[in-house]
Each structure stands twice: as C-alpha cells, then as structure tokens.
Structure 1
Amino acid sequence: MAEVAVKERRILVAVDEGEESLYALSWCLNNVISDNPNSKDTLVLLYAKPPRTVYPAPLDGTGYMFSTDMISSLERYGKEVADCVTEKAKKMCKDLHDVETIVESGDPRDVICEMADKLAADVLVMGTHGYGLIKRAFLGSVSNHCAQNVKCPVLIVKKPKTK
C-alpha cells in the first residue's frame, strides 16, 4: 500500500482584545483546522501590541513628561493585555497539539503582514469590526490592509450581528 503524504499547513490567526478576533478564531477552529490524519495544521496565534504613544513636551515648558514609573506601568499593562488575550485564545485551542503564540510590537497592519510573510503562512485568518465606509475611511481597516498586502490567502471572518 502506498504511503500517503502528510500535508502541512501554517495557519496564522490575528487576535486582539475584540470579540471579532475571537469569533474568527472560533470559526477557524470549526471550519479550517483539519482533523484529517493526512494533514498537519500548525496554528499560530499572533497578537500585535500597538506601539506606545509618545507625547512630546511642548516647547514652552507647560506640558507634562512621563516619568519612568509611568512608562514602566504602561509597558506592564501592555504586557498584561497581551498575555490575557493570548491565554484566552490558547484556551480556545486546548484540543490542538500544534499551537504557537507570538506577540510583536508595532502597527498591527505592518506586524500582521510581516509575520504572514516571515512565517510563510498558508492562510491568514482575521476578524473584522465591520465598520462602514465612513468609519473605515477615518480609522483605517487592518483586515483590508492585510488582504491587499500579504502574499497568502486571507480569510476575513465577520461576526454575525446579534439582534
């Protein structure tokens, strides 16, 4: 009997604090991850930690500068948020063997695109906030940016509206 080749896939899922990304992860677990013994899926959970906003002090000396205590508190809070999000996402994947988590700092649009290319992801899965045209124009759309700029297929999962 001929041996069947095992198909390996790297599935990158972008997660953040929003319900939309966790819904996309859940949808991916139910519809994309294969339980076929002839396939081996590695799920990579990516959290893009937004860069810390830097507020320059005004030249007239009336502004406030952040103390080192304040900066370290903000960094600690950012790490706690990243840990919380990735732990919640990992708990959803408890039945899978091959799950990796990555936390990177930077603009989520850039981080997600760079990691999809660096990891040679077979597919990028992400949620969408479902903003309308006006909000998207002002806030930008991470999912739209990624869909336009990554080399692999992008699966954008929209959470159904609750009534």
Structure 2
Amino acid sequence: MADVAALEERRIMVAVDESEESIHALRWCLANVLSSTGNGGAASDTLILVYVRPPPPVYSALDGAGYLFSEEVTASIDKYSRDLADSVTEKAHKICKEFSNIKVEVKVAVGDARDVICEMVEKMGADILVMGSHGYGFIKRALLGSVSDYCARNAKCPVLIVKRPVE
C-alpha cells in the first residue's frame, strides 16, 4: 500500500528555459505524465518548475579591448537575466493553470544549469525530472555539452527527456 501512496504524492520537476523544446516538454508532461492518473493529476501532485539563470559575468575593470565596464552595465545585464527568468516562469506557470488540482512551485536558481538542476532534484525530493532536448547532433553535443545528457547520467531520480517533434 505504501507504493500506492507514493504514486499519489508525486513531486515532478520540469526544467524550463526560453526554448520551445522546454515548453513542449512541459506541455507533454502535463498531458502525459500528470494526466496518467485519469483525473489530470492527483490532488497531491506537485509540479516544480525550475529555471536556471547563468551566473553573473565577472569582468575585470577593463575588458580585452580596453573598455571600462561600469556597475550600471553589469547591473543592466543582471536585470535582463532576472526579467527573462520572470518571463519564462510566468509563461510556464500559465500553461500549468489548465490543471487546477496540481500544486505548482517555481524555483529560480543561479549557476551552471547541469549542476543546479541535479542539485535541485535532490534538494526538492523530485520523483522524476522532465526536460526537453534541443536535438543537438553528436558534434555540437560533444563541443557544447548537453544539459539533458548530463542530468540523465547524474540526477538522483529517473529522467524523462522529451524530444520536440520535427516540423
């Protein structure tokens, strides 16, 4: 019976960013994972939306070309990053409102997305991590690294990677 209770109290984490792939993964999760209970998700399901902001840039007083960076410039970059995080999480939260019986938590963190997402899985006690895939080819994945590949190997819970259909 403990397994039945565990299924009713799921903590589903979805990593979101400004990409269409992450929004597709969120919609897919809502339609296929949360709706799998037959009633659009159990009343005690918690959907955790995680957005990771890149760390603020660290500049020396002069950049390579000899330009001086002022505090206003770095503050402007940080404000843009915060506004983008607010915009993405607000959009994702609106999508979730179609499922009124699901609790939604929004977490915004700063750092390397790969590490932060895996840390948040543990910290929040996620039962599953859902994320989109940008569909990079082998070369691009090898050069840039893939957040979804890293999380699939390192997260302490099952990871569901949702591919966006080719249009």
TM-score of the superposed pair, with normalisation by structure 2? 0.87
1:64 offset after TM fit, Å? Answer: 2.2
Aligned partner letter, 2:19 = G
Q: 2:24 — aligned with what? A: 23
Q: Is the 8 A contact 2:128 2:159 kept in 1?
A: yes
Question: Quick check: 1:5–1:38 contact (8 Å CA) kept in 2?
Answer: no
Aligned partner (choices 121, 133, 157) of residue 116 of structure 1: 121
The amino acid of 1:118's aligned partner reads K
Aligned position for 2:152: 147
Of 43, 48, 72, the residue aligned with 2:47 is 43
| Residue correspondence of structure 1 range 1-163 to structure 2 within 5 A | 5=5, 7-33=8-34, 34=37, 35=39, 40-56=44-60, 63-94=66-97, 95-96=99-100, 97-162=102-167
Cα deviation for residue 57 of structure 1 reads 5.0
Once structures 1 and 2 are overlaid, which stretch shifts more, 5-14 or 28-37?
28-37
Distance 1:124 1:66, change over 3 A: same
For structure 1, the residue ranges without an aligned partner over 5 or more in a row are none
Cα distance change of structure 1 residues 70 and 139 upon mapping to structure 2, 3 Å threshold: same
The Cα shift of 1:41 comes to 1.0
Percent of aligned pairs sharing the same letter: 58
Name which one, 1 or 2, has greater alpha-carbon Rg. 1
Structure that is richer in strand per residue = 1
Describe the shift of the 1:76–1:9 C-alpha distance in structure 2 as closer, same or farther (beyond 3 A): same
Q: Extract unaligned runs of 5+ from structure 2.
A: none
Alpha-carbon displacement from aligned partner over 1:17-70 (angstroms, at most 9, x marks no partner): 0000000000000000142776621000000001123233569x8522321111
Contact 2:25 2:163 in 1 (8 A): yes
**Could you say what the CA RMSD is over the residues aligned between the two structures, in angstroms?**
2.1
1:150 to 1:62, Cα distance in 2 relative to 1, 3 A: closer
Is the CA contact 1:12–1:44 (under 8 Å) kept in the aligned structure 2? yes
Q: State TM-score, norm by structure 1.
A: 0.89
Distance 2:74 2:120 in 1: 27
State the aligned residue count. Answer: 158
Do the aligned partners of 1:28 and 1:125 also contact (CA within 8 Å) in 2?
yes
Displacement of 1:151 in angstroms is: 1.0
2:44 partner SS: strand
